[in-house]
Chain A
């Protein structure tokens, strides 16, 4: 209840700051959409030149992309650790956070919420519905609960990876450069992982499991039986990576000593 109240207060604050820069708010939504459009354009252009990508049709790849957008939007809205080290460690804002009663990670996430990112999730759902209809997929009773569970698991995987990497900044002075790395490769979980060579497949499945935020869970709805086992593993991976992230974070915070001035 206490935490719910905090969420509400932070959201009110968010709206106030955003309304100061109103024009930028819309430009930001537009630029998010344009970024997603880039990836869609890539898919459309590629399928003008080929009829399948590693055995996956255009509608299937679009559907996978639509799924990918759902957890990605939720993740970008609530878990934004970009620039954590500069803002909280170098400038010492972590001290301010630590003197307050609510959990420190929770406060940091709330200070950086980005609700416009949720627009991407809605568009993802629309893409799933359209490409699903094109393939004649029927909506079944278990689709909606499965989508909720899988999408939340995917968000947990993202959260786990990013909190793990961000907590490195408690140990090292120059952790920057790692997050942009992730940013660049997270998209590749959307494409049929089987087109990559073995090393990249293992990397995307077990080490930085971005395949679990796109292709594997989406395969469940596409009735791709070869990936069903992986799809069902998504919640397990979510729990494992989510708790790993939180553990490493809490451990890192204990080591934190104020550096700022």
Chain B
């Protein structure tokens, strides 16, 4: 059983490897994004030394590491699941002795490992060369960040699976998937760190799961959260991971009862 899951992961990794050309342009995309946000924030900082608890140098690091983390945790599981539902190939998954959602998560992980090795690491090296990124010196920051990065992946994939499975209920969930992408980029703190939002907005974002995807790991990497405080932010991530399992399982259970194949 478990070895089957490992195989799904391995096969996805190898598939990605076959189409790796796309990832060279991916490195360019992410570097350009970091570059443009870097210059924008430079202009915003102007002469002020600190904004929302971030120094200009911390902000540079935060931007670089957030975009690179996205390079790792990003995947299209929502689109894949929606496509399976729309063309009816999901039906075949019901008769397999293996859990479909688990299969998707493992495929996502295979893609994640690929993205980590061929997109995030080389991209980060380029970003360090081009921009004044300050790497943390404390080993706890590195270890904490890597563990949290894994949870970023889990939480983001859970949200993707839930969005994808929504196709069972709304038939065409293209709009919903686009909405999810926008919400995740904005509320996760990728575009603006959450501490810079006005009080009420950051209060709302702190009770949503999205901050666990980018903002919390980024805060650990930039050294804004250090020492034992790392445990508590990690705790927030574990909490959201556990909580999001619930809707995922519930929707999957309910979905199986109302399969409605639209042709194919």
Binding site for B on A (CB under 8 A): 21, 23-32, 34-35, 38, 41-42, 45-46, 48-50, 52-54, 174, 176-178, 180-181, 184-185, 188, 191-192, 195-197, 200
Contact = CB atoms under 8 A, between A and B. Distances in A.
Contacts of A24: 170-176
Contacts of A196: 36, 39
B29 A191 contact: no
A14 to B, nearest CB: 14
Contacts of B42: 195
B135 interface: no
B36 A188 contact: yes
B197 A195 contact: no
28 contacts: A21-B172, A23-B170, A24-B173, A24-B176, A26-B175, A27-B170, A27-B173, A28-B175, A29-B175, A30-B175, A34-B182, A42-B191, A42-B192, A45-B192, A46-B44, A49-B51, A49-B52, A50-B44, A50-B45, A54-B43, A177-B21, A177-B23, A177-B29, A178-B25, A185-B33, A185-B36, A191-B40, A200-B39
Contacts of B39: 195-197, 200
B197 A45 contact: yes
B32 A28 contact: no
Interface of B: 19, 21-23, 25-26, 28-29, 32-33, 35-36, 39-40, 42-46, 48, 51-52, 170-176, 178-179, 182-183, 185-186, 191-192, 196-198
Given A30-B175, A42-B192, A45-B198, A181 B32 contact: yes
A177 B33 CA distance: 14
A163 B105 CA distance: 36
Contacts of A184: 29, 32-33
Given A35-B182, A197-B39, 12 more contacts: A23-B170, A26-B175, A34-B179, A41-B186, A50-B45, A174-B22, A177-B21, A177-B23, A177-B26, A181-B28, A184-B32, A188-B36
A211 B52 CA distance: 30
Nearest to B176: A27
Contacts of B35: 200
B251 to A, nearest CB: 17
Contacts of A35: 178, 182
A49 B186 contact: no
B43 A176 contact: no
Contacts of B28: 181
A178 B23 CA distance: 11
Contacts of A49: 44, 48, 51-52, 196
A24 B167 CA distance: 11
B179 A30 contact: yes
